[in-house]
Structure 1
Amino acid sequence: MMTSSEKKTIQKEFKEEMDYDELLNCMRCGFCLPSCPTYIETGHQEKHSPRGRIALMKGVADGLIEPDDDLAHSLDVCLGCRACEPVCPSGVQYGHLLEDARTILQRNKRQTVGVKMLRKGIFDELFPRQDRMEKVTGLIGFYQRSGLSKVARKVGFMNLFPESMATMEKVLPEVPKRSVMKQRPRFFEHEGEKKATVALFAGCLMDTMFFDTNNATIKLLRKAGCDVLIPENQLCCGALHGHNGELEKSKQLAKQNIEAFEAAEADYIITNAGGCSAFLIDYDHLLKDEPEWSERAKHFVGKLKDISRILVELDFQKTHRLQLPDQIITYQDSCHLRNVMKTFNEPRILLKAIEGVHFVELEGADTCCGSAGDYNIVQPEMAMQILDHKMEKVADTCAQIIVTANPGCLLEMKLGVERAHKSNEVRAMHIADVLVEALVNE
């Protein structure tokens, strides 16, 4: 429970720090309601809609509503998928409001020593330190290769964890040895005619747990005619921090990433993780109040492209033959790639260019799968409810491959396949891995 003093402090900070003009932009028209997964899944509860949450934020800023646990719960249950933004006639930047509100609440939240230590370990000591990410994921790789994973399942050790986490352990990708990660060069020369020089935003989890997918991305870029740089000193994008009330730490990560990519002097900055992309493209907003960084952030943002977009722009699907055995494939949008990066046609163009496959559009592909960063860990009940409904739509497609464009979505869809007992019939794959598998004689 919050004390009276804490509530007053939060009200004061909402009034001083929230973008009040943005709060006023919401016309309460309700266009956002059909696009909001939590509004739908909770039986149309207004407090779990974008419009309702904005009303709560404004009420706190106006001093009409006391911030309480119900307010915090409403904001915590939000997936942050930002599906409300493209359909908003007023162009309300709901994602920015949500992050600002969460930051204020987090700053004033009383926490146990254990929670403080856990957050410090994650946000200060792990994700901003790529060397530590490599060590931790390296341990996961050892756990997989040594046979310990099979023993843990056999003796029932995984039963000590929540069902979703125990199942997630089964679907984690095979993590390479740390020595393999360290041996990869930082420059790759183009194949064929040179068309561009690009810098890959490697990411923290993408360049460890999804290392093979990054390698697939590099291969595609080279074949598309790009010299590929992997800038040193780049770090985690900061999305996890920003979504969990740690915006100041996000700013520090943003600054270091901007510096790292400025040194690369590439034509484009390429991403292959929708969640990272959406946060990276908001660097100009994140640093808008810092004159020294605002213009540099805009320049950084102006170079960002998703892997699927640059491949289509360079006519990759026209200059390379793509083929797979006869099968049905479908595509689940990354919410942030679609709603923030505005990239949704390009993945479909590439997948439809693969000979031998029949592309079936997934009903509700533009709605969240329930992953949403760490949402499926902190809000497992709602996440699994959303996922199970998603898998019903997947079943309707009869697809043998579910394609995604974000690591969190990929793990969530793998989890969905496992929960549906379809692991022998259906694969979930990142689009880069699908395209590399489809390359003929290359």
Structure 2
Amino acid sequence: MSTTVKTIENQPACTSLASDGTKNLLLETFDMEEILNCMHCGFCLPSCPTYRQTGRESYSPRGRIALMKGVAKEQLPIDAEFEKNMFACLGCRACETACPAGVPYGSLIETARVVVEQNKKKYKKPPLVRRMVFKHLFPHPQRIKALGTALWVAQASGLQKFANRTGMIHMLPKPMAEMQQAVKKIASPLERKKRKPVLNAEKEKLFTVGLFTGCVMDVMFYETNQATARLLSKAGCEVVFVENQACCGALHAHSGELDGAIELAKRNIEAFEKANVDYIVNNAGGCGAALKDYHHWFHDDPEWKERAMAFVAKVRDANELLAELPPLTFKPLHARVTYQDSCHLAHGQGVRNQPRQLLRSIPGIEYIELENADSCCGSAGIYNLIQYEMSMQILDDKMEHVKKTKAQILVTSNPGCLLQMRQGIIREGLQDKMEAVHIMDLLDRVL
């Protein structure tokens, strides 16, 4: 047993966690049964990116669970140190794959962050930026589209190039200044308006699928959504762009804003119930993992949990469904290709073989397996913006493995991973030798 665990268990009870001296009801949200299932065996340690970087027990899954146990038993306070350790986690869930006891670490870390945020709200109002992001931006698709239009204007007018050329871009915080280099051309408002609500199957219709377009995904990666729809159509699916869908809620859930995540989940469940499709298909590993977790968010609401379970039963990653459908015919591609797993696709959803199967079905490619392909690239939602230094350390380690493949095309299945890997290519000066591509875009390219 680690020193950290011993220290926590031997501490006297902390009786002043709630501001009024009463029992802190927040602590009842912890699932003690799952916390106690952690055997502190250490199998998770080699799989944890933050532990590998720091060697600190409190930056490991085992250590964080021990801290949760201390807080849940009122032996430790919900203080700044607890918050720091919980939010330093990428939430990549690689520890779940490694854990012999099957501890659902992803849900435990989300609960810990809910406890942190709810506890803070008792004493002070959340910062303006946080309120803007979680209450006034992501729950409103039209506002995200408006932000996308502003980004398109910056690109189309040459403002982005001017800012980069003159150094004005460095007026932005460093993480944002660097990340914008990885953002490719954004679809214009006119191009987005051209999309038809339904794309018919190109041959005999096998299924009707609703495409989960996402929030940021449908603005910054609009063409990836279109490519996904074309692939599904070619494979025999009628593709419906379901109205009134919203953000998946992953960003809220990972940031301790579970109430907001639940509201978004309800909106999506209602929207896809009305659409009455056979499958709900997405092309973003992080979004897909959240969609498949909806039923866990309603454990205290039997009616919504039942509806969520029916929703989850229909959710498929685009790689999953395309691998099950009649194989598509691709044009030859003579290139050296490697694949970087999306953490939430591999560890969260267990989808590993299907993307590789699809890539290997392209004639002419030389497929090279990437060492530690399922280790996190450091993107993790907005982690690369709020934990920039740690994120870049993890990315630099990942790029050492990428360089060994000598690949010309680096493929991934998640928008955040795609931006992060593009940034890694820029950091290594490999822009003329390698490109990072979403798998749906690559498959569409050779269709």
TM over 0.5: yes
User: Is residue 413–residue 428 contact of structure 1 (8 Å, CA) maintained in 2?
Assistant: yes
User: Is residue 332–residue 402 contact of structure 1 (8 Å, CA) maintained in 2?
Assistant: yes
Deviates more, 1:258-267 or 1:13-22: 13-22
Equivalents in 1 of 2:336, 2:21: separation in Å?
55
Q: Residue deviations 1:54-113, cap 9 Å, x none?
A: 000001111222232221111111000011112212111111111111011112226999
Equivalents in 2 of 1:111, 1:154: separation in Å?
46
SS state at 2:364 partner:
strand
Equivalents in 2 of 1:343, 1:383: separation in Å?
24
Equivalents in 1 of 2:305, 2:113: separation in Å?
23
Alignment partner of 1:419 is 2:437: no
Q: Provide the residue aligned with 2:151 in structure 1.
A: 140
Deviates more, 1:213-222 or 1:97-106: 97-106
| Residue identity in the other structure for 1:240 | L
| Residue identity in the other structure for 2:409 | I
SS state at 2:377 partner:
coil
User: Is residue 258–residue 300 contact of structure 1 (8 Å, CA) maintained in 2?
Assistant: yes
In structure 2, stretches of 5+ residues that fail to align are 1-14
Q: Provide the residue aligned with 2:118 in structure 1.
A: 107
- When the two structures are aligned, how many residues end up with a matched partner? 434
1:93-242 maps to which residues of 2 (within 5 A)?
93-109=104-120, 116-242=127-253
Alignment partner of 1:387 is 2:398: no
Q: Provide the residue aligned with 1:28 in structure 2.
A: 40
Q: Provide the residue aligned with 1:266 in structure 2.
A: 277
Equivalents in 2 of 1:241, 1:432: separation in Å?
26
Distance change (3 Å), C-alpha of 1:155 and 1:11: farther
Equivalents in 2 of 1:118, 1:10: separation in Å?
31
SS state at 1:208 partner:
helix
Q: Provide the residue aligned with 2:286 in structure 1.
A: 275
Alignment partner of 1:18 is 2:27: no
Equivalents in 1 of 2:171, 2:330: separation in Å?
48
SS state at 2:213 partner:
coil
Equivalents in 1 of 2:99, 2:17: separation in Å?
36
Equivalents in 2 of 1:185, 1:306: separation in Å?
22
| Residue identity in the other structure for 1:145 | A
| Residue identity in the other structure for 1:180 | E
Deviation, 1:53, is: 0.3
Equivalents in 2 of 1:103, 1:9: separation in Å?
21
Distance change (3 Å), C-alpha of 1:327 and 1:114: farther
Distance change (3 Å), C-alpha of 1:334 and 1:385: same
| Residue identity in the other structure for 1:375 | Y
User: Is residue 128–residue 235 contact of structure 1 (8 Å, CA) maintained in 2?
Assistant: yes
User: Is residue 298–residue 304 contact of structure 2 (8 Å, CA) maintained in 1?
Assistant: yes
Q: Residue deviations 1:127-180, cap 9 Å, x none?
A: 111111110011000100101111111221112334442221111121111232
User: Is residue 18–residue 24 contact of structure 2 (8 Å, CA) maintained in 1?
Assistant: no
User: Is residue 10–residue 108 contact of structure 1 (8 Å, CA) maintained in 2?
Assistant: no
User: Is residue 200–residue 270 contact of structure 1 (8 Å, CA) maintained in 2?
Assistant: yes
Which portions of structure 1, spanning 4 or more consecutive aligned residues, are displaced by more than 4 angstroms?
3-11, 110-115
TM-score, normalised via structure 1 length: 0.94
Distance change (3 Å), C-alpha of 1:373 and 1:11: farther
Deviation, 1:438, is: 1.3
| Residue identity in the other structure for 2:96 | E
Equivalents in 2 of 1:238, 1:400: separation in Å?
34
Distance change (3 Å), C-alpha of 1:69 and 1:227: same
User: Is residue 7–residue 68 contact of structure 1 (8 Å, CA) maintained in 2?
Assistant: no
SS state at 1:355 partner:
coil
Q: Provide the residue aligned with 2:257 in structure 1.
A: 246
Equivalents in 2 of 1:51, 1:387: separation in Å?
23
TM-score, normalised via structure 2 length: 0.93
| Residue identity in the other structure for 1:416 | G
Deviates more, 1:428-437 or 1:189-198: 189-198
1:320-359 maps to which residues of 2 (within 5 A)?
320-324=329-333, 326-359=334-367
Equivalents in 2 of 1:277, 1:438: separation in Å?
25
Equivalents in 1 of 2:300, 2:265: separation in Å?
14
Q: Provide the residue aligned with 1:404 in structure 2.
A: 412
Distance change (3 Å), C-alpha of 1:83 and 1:200: same
Q: Provide the residue aligned with 1:76 in structure 2.
A: 87
User: Is residue 27–residue 115 contact of structure 2 (8 Å, CA) maintained in 1?
Assistant: no
Q: Residue deviations 1:358-394, cap 9 Å, x none?
A: 1111111111000000000010000000000111110
User: Is residue 128–residue 253 contact of structure 1 (8 Å, CA) maintained in 2?
Assistant: yes
Deviation, 1:239, is: 0.5
Structure 1 vs Structure 2 CA RMSD: 2.0
**Percent of aligned pairs with the same amino acid:** 49
Q: Provide the residue aligned with 1:436 in structure 2.
A: 444
